[in-house]
Amino acid sequence: MFESPLQLQRTAIVVVCLLTAMTQPCLAQEAPGQGIFALQTMLSDKSPEIRVKAAQGLARVGGWRAILILRRGLKDKTPEVRTAVVEALGYVGGRLALTVLSEALKDRSLEVRIRAVESLRLAGTVSAVPIIQKAFGDKEASVRLHAALMIKKIGHRSGGQSSDERFWPIATHLSERHARSTWEQWASRTAGPWGISPRS
């Protein structure tokens, strides 16, 4: 199906905004111009595809203004758009992005919550661990398992060291315990009906 002239015009504007963000990211952070405001408008476009592109463009722009705009996207009705928003926040990084991503851990979409956990790892190192641990309370085992894996990856990336060396043994124990618990729950559901013990 061919796009209407109006859809083509909106797509062209998004492309221009993306190109501006990619070529002048530093200027966009210091002095927001038409690019970031256009992306803000496009994040409310009726087309989900354009809203996704707007989130990606805001990731390129970066800075606290982009994060605050992306935060509005967490209320988007389309899961794919919210997924793009949390991925963009992970790309931008920083403490403000971590705070906003913590809100995404309560999203109604399983996929969004998983991507939020992954983005938390990308957005921060040790400072992201306490927020990721909140996902251990998620009702879905896959989210809890992802949280355990992301904490372990942060530990490996940091060499297992932090400003408080006593923290990592605790974090590692928590991640391994929740990963083991999640695996045992999955194994018991999968192997149980066949009369197979998950520990055998």
Largest Cα–Cα distance in the chain?
Answer: 65
C-alpha span between 128 and 132 (Å, rounded) = 6
Q: Which pLDDT value is given to residue 11?
A: 57
The two structure tokens encoding residue 52: 């996704």
Q: What is the model's pTM?
A: 0.68
61 compared with 4, residue with greater pLDDT: 61
Q: What is the DSSP letter of 4?
A: P
| pLDDT surpasses 60 at 20 | no
**CATH number attached to the domain at 1-124:** 1.25.10.10
Asked if 167 and 133 count as a contact pair (C-beta separation under 8 A), the reply is no
Q: What is the pLDDT of residues 99-154, one digit of tens each?
A: 999 999 999 999 999 999 999 999 988 899 999 999 999 999 999 999 999 999 98
The enclosing H or E element of 167 equals helix 167-191
Q: What is the pLDDT of residues 36-61, one digit of tens each?
A: 999 999 999 999 999 999 999 999 99
Domain ranges of the chain: 1-124, 126-190
- Tokens 């957005």 belong to 123
Q: Which pLDDT value is given to residue 103?
A: 97
Q: Is 161 exposed, middle or buried (0-12, 13-18, 19+ CB in 10 A)?
A: exposed
Residues 6 or more apart whose Cβ sits within 8 Å of residue 187 = 198
